[in-house]
Amino acid sequence: MLASYTTSESDYAITYNEGQTHAEEEARSDALQLLLAFGPAFARESRFWKSSCYSLLLGALMGFVALAFFNGFNYMFETWTDWTFSSTTPYSHKLESGLHLNTGDGEWWWLLVTISGGALVGLIRCLPSFPSHVDGLFREVRDLHVDPSHAPLVFVTSCLSLGLGASVGPEAAMGNAGGAIGSLIGNMRDQSDRRKAISAFCGMAGAMGALFPSPMLAVLLMHELSVTSRPGDSRFNAAVTAPIESFVDGATDPSLAQHDFMEQVTLGGIAATAGYAVFYGLAEYTYIDPVNRVNHVTPGGYNHTNYDLFDLRGLKDFGLIISVSDYETWHLAAAIPLGIFAGLIGVVGLVLLGVFRKVNVRVRGRLAERGLPPKAIEVIMPTLGGLLFGLIAVAWPLTLGDGALQLPHVIKRAYEGDWIEQVDGGIRAGGSIKAVTTDPTITLGTLWGTLIGKLLSMGICLGFGFVGGQIFPCIYAGVCAGMIVCRVVPGVPVTLAVPCMMSAVPASFAPIPFTLVGLTALVLVMDGSMAAPVFVATFVSFLTNCGMGITQGVLERQNGLSGVMTKMRNNNQHSVVHRGGGNKTMEDVSALQDVSEIIFANEPGESIRYSLGESTFAVGGKEA
């Protein structure tokens, strides 16, 4: 019978006893391949059901954590932006009416809030328990571990940053909180490294479940960013594979390891669904909600009026005039230049991130030379950041926050043409609809200013000490870019330009194309045919930026690392020296997969050193 089998690349070689027919050999080979593909029967093990219970509880807990987080910074933001002095108009009224949102319509007193808030962020960063380095979502998902002792202050600082209107996203704090709680549970249960990693994975999935309009996207995001997409990475083989005994004729091979992908999907799906159920059950909406909920009132009494993208193109079934066409085959070709445009926007955003990080380092160095103590410098930099992004908000008021609040209003108020007004909740709620023709209240110049100001503000906030992510601000920047395309290029429908740019701008640097396409399709309530150009624009955007090495080239020139990325890609193995001097070997890791780590992971003054053979290169900060 079967004596042994080994792996050569991805093919299994099987040795059989004499006397077996060729048909039997093929049948057994096919059966073995299917068994390996199906994976172990993990649902038979009591360990899995225990893990499922923990995942369920962990996801539900993260739903409550997300509710507190989002309600906290939303209440803070809505409270101070709706203050009125003399003849000022509350910010929420400006969004609803579409008036006073153009260039220069911000309020100068906003600077008092952003500057004082920046100083408060700096004071928190001075606390001894605040980490010297805050990892971004990419690093946290890749490491599948978050230090639980760091999470509370990171959580509070990110909530404060978002409440102040800083151009950062909530995904970093939620991933940090979920990973920390998952890591804490894994440590308390004294689990293996593999089980601890899966526990952190489920914690992050539960946290993301409240962020997206469907828990499916939370699990998809985790797997796109996680180690399952990097099977050659030796750091995480223990996290995604489990040593097993051969299940053919009782033979054993301790070196055999099998992926447990579907077990991870199941546990992560349980956590994400539980988080979604708790958050949606209590709030009746998710943070990124499908924009077709009209006159939706939450239990807290807040009236959230959003607008369906399809309202901007009319409804054929009701015989209304359609000024924007549905999907046509040429949209696939049109998505290519849209993707290129989005990729270039992403390049600008990443360059600005790098520029403001360098400015931060130089200013800190100058202040240190003048004898200022480190804690004073730690307070000064976020305060300066608050001043700068506050000035941008005064000039372009639509740049405040991560953009989730402004996104539906920008789509409607910047649109030029016929659209549908839903009366008494629209057809879905038993009301009615009517055709309306209106001129946009947001000018083209304001859209350009908001796009550029958003990228500037994001670079300032992330470079000067505010805590948050960069994906959500880039999604909003993509929406602004899509509306610009509609206004500048005649004949390009809003249902093509906005979805394509919304997904493609963050995709220019974030290796999560399927999550971004799915998010766009669900948020804008799109059908499959209209999502096809979005997919094209998304991968074209990544090709334009990271695929062509534009960002890598900028990084190499800025840091004196000419040719390093090429060497990394051509080298079978390289190592990263992390904080504390711990070496972690990464096999067959593409250089392109580490671009986000170089850009977003290291704090000013901190270096990541790559070893290639006998050469060592320091990336970012100062070499230790």
Domains of the chain: 5-38 (no CATH), 43-290 (1.10.3080.10), 555-619 (no CATH)
Q: How many Cβ atoms from other residues are within 10 Å of residue 570's Cβ?
A: 9
User: Rounded to whole angstroms, how far apart are CA atoms 444 and 362?
Assistant: 36
Closest of 521, 542, 556, 532 to residue 212, by C-alpha: 521
Cα torsion angle, 599, 600, 605, 609, sign: negative
Give residue-wise pLDDT tens across range 559-592.
Answer: 667 666 666 555 544 444 343 444 444 333 333 3
Amino acid at 287: Y
Which residues in 165-195 are b (16+ Cβ under 10 Å) and which e? bbbbbbbbbbbbbbbbbbbbbbeeeebeebb
Q: What angle do CA 204, 65, 464 make, to 5 degrees?
A: 75
* Least confident window among 132-141, 215-224, 287-296, 325-334: 287-296
Q: Which two tokens stand for residue 347?
A: 């390049």
CA atoms of 608 and 623, how far apart (whole Å): 8
Give the torsion sign (CA, 597, 599, 604, 608). Answer: positive
Looking at residue 227, the DSSP 8-state letter turns out to be G
pLDDT over 70 percentage in the chain: 69
- Kindly report, residue by residue over 118-129, the tens digit of the pLDDT: 999 999 999 988
Nearest in space to 171 (alpha carbons), one of 197, 147, 140, 144: 140
3-state SS class at 391: helix
pTM over 0.85: no
pLDDT at 70 (0 to 100): 92
Q: Which residues neighbour 117 within 8 Å (Cβ) at sequence distance 6 or greater?
A: 160, 163, 164, 386
Pairwise CA distance, residues 596 & 357, whole Å: 14
Average pLDDT value for residue range 517-543: 89
Contact 185, 54 (CB under 8 A): yes
pLDDT of residue 19: 54
Distance between CA atoms of residues 608 and 135, nearest Å? 13
Check: CB of residue 276 under 8 Å from CB of residue 214.
yes
Do residues 40 and 244 touch, judged by C-beta distance below 8 A?
Answer: yes
pLDDT band of 86, cuts 50, 70, 90: low
pLDDT range class, residue 445, cuts 50, 70, 90: very high
In sequence order, the β-bridge partners of residue 419 are 436
Alpha carbon distance 307, 294 (integer Å):
6
Which residue is it, tokens 């108009």?
89
- DSSP codes, 98-125: --S-STT-S-TTHHHHHHHHHHHHHHHH
pLDDT reported for residue 395: 94
- As a whole number of angstroms, the distance between CA 31 and CA 135 comes to 44
pLDDT at 247: 36
User: Which of 265-274, 331-340, 390-399, 426-435 comes out lowest in average pLDDT?
Assistant: 426-435
